Amino acid sequence: MPTSLVDADSLLVVDVGAATTRATHFDVVEGYYRFIASGQAASTAIAPFKNVGEGVHQAIRNLEAVTGRTLLDTNLRLIIPSQGGSGVDTFAATISAGPAIKTVVVGLLADVSFESAQRLARTTYTRVVEAIGMNDRRKPEEQIDNILRLRPDLILVAGGTDGGATRSMQRILETIGLACYLLPPDKRPALLFAGNQALVPEVKASFKSLTASLSIGANLRPTLETEDLLPAQRILADLYAHIRMNQIGGVEELGAWAGGNLMPTAYAQGRIIRFLSQIYDPRKGVLGIDIGATDATVAASFGGELTLGVYPQLGLGEGLSGLLGYTSLEDILRWLPLDIPADVVQDYLYQKSLYPTSIPATAEDLALEQALARQTLYLAMNAASKDFSPCARRLAPGMTPYFEPILAGGSAITHVPTRGQSLLILLDAIQPVGVTTLILDQNNLLPALGAAANLNAILPIQVLESGAFLGLATVVSPLSSSRPGTPLLRAQLVYENGNESRLEVKPGALEILPLPIGQSARLYLEPLHHADVGFGPGLGGSMTVNGTAMGVIVDGRGRPLRFPADQAHRRELLKKWLWTVGG
């Protein structure tokens, strides 16, 4: 190991979430970067503080209590660089706190640049409040009135291929420019232009004095057949941080500590998922999901091509009061193993939206929270899958693509009473196919590692290899049309000591082959009656698998999951599944 690594820089990463602020410390231990500890505190971005500083200081103080290392001076300023055992050498920060950024999306063609602009908006914490395009039948004055009424924080402009016609975009830009001019100077939005590059000089000249901040990005649609969101994503991430500095107290100081290395939490998570997809099995994607109080985030990458989706309407906090605008009460009730009346469920949605940091106090509350976690993650996966790369391999149309591994974060998944409950939430919501590994990000490290990569490319690699994440289960999910009672798969696990476990799986069953953490074994799969586990219909195979908290899980319940029409039978089935995994 090079000497430079032994004396390498320590790193502190702060993540400001809607409910929790975390301070995470990384340093070198015996020549390798390791996750040392984290401290957390309630976030203070909302009233009565409306300043993230108090939550940041408290999270760092709690980290100091764990590590015994002094990180803040007497004036609550970060000690950087480290001095005689105090402080840290480098600092980065991520943020997701605050209301969704009110965004106006501007494009030309509905199924081309307009769709690309919508996808770009979904890569961070935005709420699209208005959409303006060439096919908009409203008069320009009506569009202007709407912008003046909504007072957006951000306008995303796409449209026109590079070198293409400009007149249509010029007419739309004139409307946007007049709306910005009519807004009070302190209420003008930021603007990101990512359209026909021939219009860039005109956009700079027209909008420099009409917006809070003007950013120019590469064209989202340089040709009709080509979409490239990545360059604009980087700019949008910086723009998001700039907007938050103007909206929430303390964010500007946080950005100063970070030397400009302040980024949206979801963007940081997407960076590390994209990196992992370049080092794991190229035939499968890598999936990262997170459910928080304000949003659900899905990051999926296939061979380095990233799909990132942030869904503020699917958070488990304030947004729950509007959840029924995106799903039905029946779809939430289907995940409940207890007989809870629909009006009680509806009341819980409103109560939880008012008190998003409350924790379940009864078995009924816990069942409701986990049912909501399933449904919001299920909806987020369905929404994100529409944007997955065309090269994503699927066992069958409409199924979840092949992923290896799947990394999950969010306290609704990682901080539950049993590992079996975490397992079932992920299996039910994501419904993976083939063979995959489920990994829990219990310490919220993925965004921290994504932010750290800007400062130190070695640190994320070594921390990922260090065991800082919890391997939950290796999951085998066959697709089969076998009749009930007819075996669909035989599985054999041969351990390092020569012992073995065998099982035969029937449709509808959940089966477990134990394999403790720290051990490895050879897994042999023999599909029956044309069942498919990823090798092809009826084709078997073998692979080496590593031990996890739950071992090897064979999920024979089919894809998609189907429930009995009888409600009592459905609840008994859910209880059976939970009992099987030790829930």
Strand segments, DSSP code E, in 116-187 are: 126-132, 154-157
Residue 5 confidence (pLDDT) above 80: no
Closest CA to 548 of 520, 579, 516: 516
Q: How confident is the model at residue 290 (pLDDT cuts 50, 70, 90)?
A: very high
Percent of the residues in the chain that have a pLDDT greater than 70, as a whole number: 98
Amino acid (one-letter) located at 384: A
pLDDT digits (tens, 9 = 90+) for 150-179: 999 999 999 888 877 788 889 999 999 999
Residue 570 has pLDDT above 70, yes or no: yes
Residue 6 has pLDDT above 80, yes or no: no
pLDDT digits 0-9 by tens, 353-379: 888 878 888 999 999 999 999 999 999
Query: From CA 404, how far away is CA 474, in angstroms rounded?
Result: 10
Whether the predicted pLDDT of 218 surpasses 70: yes
Q: Within its chain, how far is the Cα of 368 from the centroid?
A: 22
On the question of pLDDT at 228 being above 90, the answer is: no
- The listed range with the strongest mean pLDDT (37-51, 150-164, 422-436, 477-491) is 422-436
Residue 7 has pLDDT above 60, yes or no: no
pLDDT score for 49: 87
Pairing of strands 285-291, 296-302: antiparallel
Enter the tokens of residue 93.
Answer: 């920060």
The percentage of residues in the chain with a pLDDT greater than 90, rounded to a whole number, is 75
Average pLDDT score over residue span 546-575: 94
Whether the per-residue pLDDT at 16 is higher than 80: the answer is yes
Q: Residue 525: beta bridge partners?
A: 491, 541
Q: Confidence band (pLDDT; 50, 70, 90) for 346?
A: very high
What pTM does this model have? 0.92
Task: Give the 3-state secondary structure of residue 516.
Answer: coil
Give the separation between CA 476 and CA 535, rounded to whole angstroms: 12
Q: Compute the average pLDDT of residues 412-432.
A: 96
Taking the domains of the chain in order of start, what are their residue ranges?
3-95, 101-247, 267-311+392-580
List, for residues 479-528, the tens digit of each pLDDT value.
988 788 889 999 999 999 999 999 999 999 999 999 999 999 999 999 99
Section 116-143 average pLDDT: 91
Please tell me which residue, 240 or 481, carries the higher pLDDT value.
Answer: 240
Q: Quick one: which H or E segment has residue 579?
A: helix 567-580
- Per mean pLDDT, which range of 31-40, 250-259, 315-324, 573-582 is the poorest? 315-324
Helix (H) / strand (E) element for 63: namely helix 53-67
Higher per-residue pLDDT: 304 or 413:
413
Is residue 47 within 8 Å of residue 38, measured between CB atoms?
no
Give the list of residues 6+ apart from residue 263 with CB closer than 8 angstroms, or none: 93, 94, 95, 237, 238, 240, 241, 450, 451, 454
Domain 3-95 has CATH 3.30.420.40: yes
CATH topology identical between 3-95 and 101-247: no
Neighbours of 252 (CB within 10 A): 16
**pLDDT given at position 51:** 94
Q: Check the CA dihedral 300-302-304-305 and report its sign.
A: negative
What's the pLDDT band for 8 if we cut at 50, 70, 90? Answer: low
pLDDT at 91: 94
SS3 312: helix
Q: What is the mean pLDDT of residues 211-224?
A: 91
- With residue 104 as reference, give the H or E element that holds it: strand 101-106
Please determine, for residue 138, whether its predicted confidence score (pLDDT) is greater than 80.
yes
**Which tens digits make up the pLDDT trace of 452-485?**
988 888 898 899 888 899 999 999 999 988 788 8
The predicted structure's pLDDT at residue 3: 36
- Output 1 or 308, whichever has higher pLDDT: 308
Residue 93: predicted pLDDT:
96
Q: Is domain 101-247 in CATH 3.40.50.280, yes or no?
A: yes
- In this model, does residue 97 exceed pLDDT 50? yes
